[in-house]
Structure 1
Amino acid sequence: MSTPTGPGTPPPPPPYPPSPPRTDPPRWAWWVGGIAIPLVGILVTVAFGGKDSGPVAAPAPGPVDTATQPSSPGPSGMPSSEEPEPPASSDAAPSASASPEADLTAPDGYAEALSTMWGLAPVPCTQHEQQLINLDDGTSRTEDEDNGAVQEPGGAELLHWPDTCTGLGDYQLRALPNTRVGLLRADAPKSFDSCRAAAGTGFGALALSERNDREDRGFVEGAALCSVTDKGAVAMAVIEHIAGDAVDDASVSGPLYVWAAAP
């Protein structure tokens, strides 16, 4: 019960409001935090960094495992570990691709080379025809077959005739008598000088259906028959294509180059 105030006595002061509750951590928590955080950092450093005793030397290189290591690509994009394919055998018969390119240079005293075609075209032996080929221009004509004898050469250099008429590889080829014809081999230079020299070697009868005989004689694709004709020209009949064998008579064709003597 309050004491009544008398006249002239000031009233007592109002009571202080209660203090709000503290929300910040107590002062001892700051001390604990200040000590615990550095201590945790020291422990982490010791636990992980203490195991590193210094730089570790790189391991020595060991042998490369070729079974698992991919090989580096070569210039062509293929792995260099792959072995290249072996070259083609050199025992194959010469072909036109192995023949040197013809040098058609005309020497003094001769005209620029004429370029045309020549060929041998067998017919059934029962027709009893033989073919005569003129190497001045590549033309051919036929006459009645007479066992390889010629009735009228007419300036021809080659005779193509059926030797027998069995139906199996009948035709043969030879140079006519009193002509200058020879074979220029496939690997020889195809030029005026080499062809004129080969023309003096002679060309006897050859059974065209016998492939082994043809190859032994050098009558193959890429070779040439050369002649100094009755008109004084140098002719080079290149054997570009041969078709047929023992059963079918062989046909022959190719380009003909003729250096005519200058008038």
Structure 2
Amino acid sequence: MSSDNPPPGGPPHAPPYTPPQAPQAPQPSQPPRWAWWVVGIVIPVVGLLVTVLVGRPGSSDGRTVESAPTPTRSSASAENAGQGQPAPAPTKRAEPDKALFGPEVVDADTTNSGSYIELDTAEPIVSDSSLKGADIIFGASLGDPNLFVPGSGSMLAPLPASGATPTADECAQAVEDNGGYTSNVKRGDRFCLMTDKGRVAYLVVVTAPSTGIGKLNVTVWDTPAV
């Protein structure tokens, strides 16, 4: 045998064994940064809405809040009666003063010295001459119609041209505060007068001519209670 032939040998060498690797799962993609801002805003808003809805009357928790009924006048009265408290008495309205005379129109001749009028009688007495006890004279001795208190007592008080009819007490107070003894007059003028026996009169001039028949609307009350 020739030495050129290679000696017999074993099988050819195989490459080293490498175990197969398991496939790797794909990495999840990261959400964009703006998504975290949206989540941070939405969660508080949803929580606020849930709080509001739960707090509303008749919400889904099944409980209904009922307001207490407003007490009426009758129920309040019944409650007071049940507690032994009497109901308040109704306010008594003041009754108007009862006049002894009038209001009624009284005629008086105003020519020259005029007419003397007595108001302490059941009805006014009018005289065209000096009358003892007269309370007022309605005349035009100086040319202009006027009212004059005999004896010049401060018993005549003018009132504003407009206003409510005074009471006896108000007239008496007007005389006390602003009494005089004479005043020129014209239609529509108003006066309070205190008689020499303490009666109170309210006079409204209806007509006041320099000559002829003048007219006074007269109301007379008894002496006011002190």
TM-score, length basis structure 2: 0.44
TM-score, length basis structure 1: 0.39
Question: Considering only CA atoms, is the larger Rg found in Structure 1 or Structure 2?
Answer: 2
